[in-house]
Amino acid sequence: MKWLGLLRLVSLSECIVIIPLRKVKTMQEILSEKNLLNNFLEEHAYRLSQISTRNSNITSVPMRNFLDLSYVGNIIIGTPPQEFWVIFDTGLSDLCVPSISCSSPSHTRNAFKYYEFSTSWDMNMPFSIIYGTGIRKGFLTYDTIQTGDLVSTDQPFGLSLELNKFDNTPFDGLLGLNYPRMSAIGAIPIFDNLKKQGAISEPVFAFYLSKCRVSGCVVMFGSVDKDYYQEGLNWVPLDKIADRRINMDHISMKRKVIACSGGCHVIVDTGTSVILGPTRPVNNIQKLITPAQGSEHYVSCFAINTLPSILFTINGINYPMPAQAYILKDSRGHCFGTFKENRVSTSTETWILGDIFLRLYFSVYDRGNDRIGLAPAV
């Protein structure tokens, strides 16, 4: 499916870039009409704004929100310029978009026409990346990439020749913001390249993922705009830098610990749509949310007004998530829970807090000090 509409990228200042995110309802409506929501949640739970600011150090980029589960923004590649919708993903390091030579039948979106670009050159280096949602295969290439008002020259990125299980997704590619050591194609990530080329004043980026209906969600580079969060930022040091892993104290409901009882790890990830955790704790939480329901995902909509908040305690600070956040309603009026089993096995109990959590909390990724900041979003 081709998703129409382009977001205008506006230069707000020379140092701070804010990219807006907008909500796309069409995906939810199509999935509901075709009764594919369960399959979508099963396959796409893991991996897979232009707003004015007074801070001259921040660059903001607009983004769109689809299904209240994922957020996409606009980038420009090459000369002449070609626009792409991408997910800004803190769990990945690489940028990948489809090639015009992509042979996958599911590919009906924008494709990179490398032979038309004067600034494009390739290394004929093949790659294969396995995501939680599917597989991308292709080759490495280089070109100029614009994100908001930031321009990265000689930027390596992946051109996909084959896409597997990326059907019906309203985005073209993925733009990773993780550390260089996590690159699956051995390339310098665009954020690190921008810093290396002096385009970003500080090695910091941040996300505001409100439950936006048309606009309002943003990712910002170079600094932090305080207008997007309340109170102060609570900083949490990374326990494992490579995958942005931090320590979590426990998860509780009504003052009773329901998961992570002895402490565990947590990954804050904008590329994950829901809340992912180990099988047994997730099943226990699902039973607390909907003890009488037979479906793995759907719950009674009456539960939204009766269920208590679930608290994630991180570094001694409670981050409550009300039922209105962890239970969503589709266009047909059916409600579903957003706690899902993480099928990637880990040696220790590990949770992934995705966009469902991040809609409530403004998040800052301080690369210079290897820490993450969280604060209630406005």
Contacts 24+ apart (CB under 8 A), 301-309: 301/327, 301/329, 301/333, 301/334, 301/335, 303/327, 303/335, 304/329, 304/335, 308/253, 308/254, 309/253
Q: Is 269 a catalytic residue?
A: yes
For residue 113, count other CB atoms closer than 10 A to its CB: 15
Q: Which of 143, 269, 355, 366 is catalytic?
A: 269
Q: How many CB atoms lie within 10 A of CB 123?
A: 11
Q: To which residue do tokens 């020749």 refer? A: 161
Out of 68, 89, 149, 225, pick the active-site residue: 89
Task: Quote the CA–CA distance of 190 and 95 in Å, as a whole number.
Answer: 7
For Cα atoms 273, 230, 358, give the angle at the middle one, nearest 5 degrees.
5
State the Cα–Cα distance between residues 124 and 162, nearest whole angstrom: 15
Q: Specify whether the CB–CB gap between 151 and 79 falls below 8 A.
A: no
**275-277 and 339-341 strand pairing:** parallel
Angle at 109 between CA 106 and CA 112, to 5 degrees: 110
Number of neighbouring beta carbons within 10 Å of residue 251: 24
- DSSP 3-state of 99: strand
Contact indicator for 51, 216 with CB cutoff of 8 Å: yes
Catalytic residue list: 89, 269
